[in-house]
Structure 1
Amino acid sequence: MKKIKILFAGHDLKFAQLIMNSLNNKEQYEVRVDEWLGHNVHNEAQSVECLNWADVIVCEWGLGNAVWYSKHKKPYQRLIVRMHRQEVETNYPFEFEIDNIDQIIAISPYVYEEFYRTFRFPREKMTMIYNLVDTREMDQPKITEAQFNLGIIGVCPKMKRLDLAIDVLEKLWNRDSRYKLYVKGKLPQEYTWLWNREEERSYYEELFERIEQAPWKENVIFDGYGSDIGQWLSKIGFVLSTSDFESFHLAPSEGMASGAYPLILKWSGSDTIYPNNLLLADTDEIVEKVEKMNGSKRNRHIEVELKKYVMDNFSIQKITSEWESLISRLTVTI
């Protein structure tokens, strides 16, 4: 059987890694990577070599990679561009050779409409496929004290609103000092581009000073960056999503897959990804939800429903099947 050769090209492939692995594990596909150094920086000789190899090209993010491949792909090749949200704030999509792009994937219904509104891509070239979650990796036994542990994954840039997560911890700690906030991800100082922005740096410096001066400072634990999310979630009872806006936000769904309850502040489009009963209006409502959950016997039924929602909507099996259907449709004449 002749394998379909699929090339993934982009500078940040962390959200695509699961789908790359899943497709590569199928006997009908062979997957390679053209890893770019930035939005518009790459080894062109390497990209040309990868281009000459591929049947299907997937540009992860619609940035300079999608511009380059849309201008260089060959007539017999199929080009898919998977876009998140960041692209709306760039001019790259206006530079696409749109006639050479076979399909544009948006990762949520709201983002789909934002891309159409902003760039007027032909709708027949657009589709929506959610991000995916490794439900098996996330589903690990919880430690006993998990019900008092809040978790937040990724706190940079400031639109992630770590300050609101701190507000939640402070309110809960004032009522019960067992509550802790675990922070997973890189610190702002580890992002040179971010730390060089005065507004961002000032925000974090003030926030870290607030933590340092607080009586609950020992209850804020920075766990650093790592790929061990499943293991980390075993100690987390509640996963916070306090961002001003998101395109999808994997953290709540990863938390749900682990059995942790998601605490999601509403953002535009959040209701196209998560059920309305999981969306909260403000930090007071978050605190009320945590206390209500912990004030009654832990409901096993709720945990089962959370896991089922992720399995039904974002599992590797479901999303891989949608990718396979798309690839099959695009490559039927190759």
Structure 2
Amino acid sequence: MKVAIFASNMNFFEEIYKEICKKHEVRLFVEPVVNLPFGRSRIHNILRKKQMTKLMAWADVSFFEWADQNLVDATKYNKHSKIVTRLHSYELTTYADIVDWTKVDRVILVSKIMQKRFLDKFPNYSNARTSVINNVINVDKFNIPENKTLNNNLGVLSSLVPVKRLYDLILAFSEIKKEKPDLKLIIGGGEQIGEKRYPMALMELIDKLNLKESVIFEGHIDDPHEWFKRIDIYISNSYWESFCVSLHEAMSSGCYPLVHWWSGAEEFVPKENIYLHNHELKQKVLDYYSSDENIRKDESDNFRNLMVDRFGEKKQLNEIIKVLESV
């Protein structure tokens, strides 16, 4: 089978791409580059359309990783192949309204909550043409380190953007620290292009709270596997998530998860690990550190086993390929 791949961002897609390449003939769309002093945009659009339509005419299936501008443009052109897309999250509120969904044969959603959001927004799209397939988690890479010990570190791995509610988490942490002064909050992840005010506000907040020694911003993390080894409790304090890859990698690495009740959180962690208010987060953190060492170890093992059951043996990779082959 000939598969054309359109991926504006390879995040969360590298392993899937490699697996598709093993089993089928694949061509990857490359955005044309135009280096001219004038008419650059017009010429780029002409070349882009020509290359996209040529590639889709070659393919049996065109796969769009992210339901973004690539998919918008593809559904404007004459249809030459089956079209499958994987919609993650932000596309639902940015690009989805201008996609011609009548030309899209299958939509892969990364969670049940994203499937519900999609079908609520597009009720005429057949539920039978959607599939829920979680993101791929490499449970062989993310595992519990030998002789894991407490480090008194709470951790978050995310971009410094409002949706992650890091500002609110720092305020909550300041209250938790009054009860347990040796705690630190480690934040991995950098600024997002175009978002400067939020990172500045975070720095100003820790200055006001006198937490410069306790709230540590570590910027972009090149090796999350090593980073998770230092984290006892991983906190997802977002108000919106579709899946939250870092949360699952943390659980696979033996971190104890605490998750704000964003819609769909119960799909991934037990009710006992979900909080709504800051005082609930505080109590859950303190309870964890006051619990017996054997209980904490059992919790780590249980979450690790849960991840292996869900993501081991290339389950998600095989499910995605099955969709491509059956469309």
CA, structure 1 residues 73+259, in 2 after alignment: closer, same or farther (shift >3 Å)? farther
2-structure distance, mates of 1:296, 1:272 = 26
CA contact (8 A) 1:7 1:31 kept: yes
2:206 counterpart residue number: 211
Q: Which residue, out of 153, 161, 168, partners 2:157?
A: 153
Contact 1:242 1:264 in 2 (8 A): yes
How far is the alpha carbon of 1:222 from its aligned partner?
A: 1.5
CA distance in 2, matches of 1:63, 1:312: 31
Contact 1:18–1:134, Cα closer than 8 Å, also in 2 = no
Q: Aligned letter for 1:19?
A: I
Report the Cα offset of residue 241 of structure 1: 0.4
**Cα drift, residue 224 of structure 1:** 1.2
Deviation string 1:37-88 (CA, Å, 9 cap, x unpaired) is 9xxx97615434543543322112212211222344654x321111122223
Paired with 1:94 and 1:297, the residues of 2 have a C-alpha distance of 51
Q: 1:222 is matched with which residue: 201, 207, 217?
A: 217
Instruction: Report if the CA contact (8 A) 2:185-2:215 is conserved.
Output: yes
Residue type matched to 1:267 in 2?
W
2:38 corresponding residue in structure 1: none
Q: Is the 2:67–2:96 Cα contact (8 Å) retained in structure 1?
A: yes
User: Structure 1 residue 96 and structure 2 residue 99: aligned?
Assistant: yes
Partner of residue 65, structure 2: 60
SS in 1 for 2:204: helix
Give matches, 1:270-281, under 5 Å.
270-281=265-276
Q: Which amino acid aligns with 1:158?
A: P
User: CA separation in 2, counterparts of 1:313 and 1:168?
Assistant: 31
The secondary structure found in structure 2 opposite 1:217 is: coil
Match of 1:119 among 108, 117, 122: 122
Query: 3-state SS of the aligned residue for 1:194?
Result: coil
How big is the alpha-carbon RMSD for the aligned residues of Structure 1 and Structure 2? 2.5
Q: Offset at 1:214?
A: 3.4
- Once residues 290 and 133 of structure 1 are traced to their aligned partners in structure 2, the CA distance between those partners, rounded to angstroms, is 26
Change (3 A) 1:145 1:181: farther
May I ask how many residue pairs the two structures share in their alignment? Answer: 311
Tell me the equivalent position of 1:198.
Answer: none
Helix, strand or coil: the match of 1:68?
A: helix
Paired AA for residue 195 in structure 2: L
Note the alpha carbon deviations across 1:242-268, whole angstroms, 9 max, x for none.
011111111211110000011100012
Alpha-carbon distance, 1:122 to partner: 2.1
Shift of the 36–169 alpha-carbon distance from structure 1 to 2, 3 Å rule, reads farther
Q: Which aligned pairs between 1:1-334 and structure 2 lie closer than 5 A?
A: 4-24=1-21, 26=22, 28-34=23-29, 44=48, 45-48=50-53, 50-72=55-77, 74-75=79-80, 77-90=81-94, 92-120=95-123, 121-141=125-145, 146-187=150-191, 191=193, 193-195=194-196, 201=197, 203-298=198-293, 299=295, 300-315=297-312, 317-330=314-327
Equivalent pairs: percent with the same residue?
25
Q: CA deviation at 1:135?
A: 1.3
Conserved in 2, the CA contact under 8 Å of 1:142 and 1:234? Answer: no
Structure 2: runs of 5+ lacking an equivalent: 33-43
1:159: how far off? 1.8
Q: Is the 8 A contact 1:9 1:34 kept in 2?
A: yes
Cα distance in structure 2, aligned partners of 1:107 and 1:275: 19
SS in 2 for 1:323: helix
* Local SS of the residue matching 1:137: coil
Summarize deviations over 1:92-117 as a string: whole Å, max 9, x none: 33443434322011111111111111
CA distance in 2, matches of 1:223, 1:241: 17
* Distance change >3 Å, CA 211–CA 328, structure 1 → 2: same
SS in 1 for 2:140: helix
Deviates more, 1:112-121 or 1:96-105: 96-105
* Further displaced range: 308-317 or 113-122: 308-317
Q: Is the 2:62–2:84 Cα contact (8 Å) retained in structure 1?
A: yes
Distance 1:95 1:212, change over 3 A: closer
Between stretches 308-317 and 128-137, larger displacement belongs to: 308-317
What SS does the corresponding residue of 2:231 show, helix, strand or coil? coil
* SS state at 2:92 partner: helix
Q: Secondary structure at the match of 2:67?
A: coil
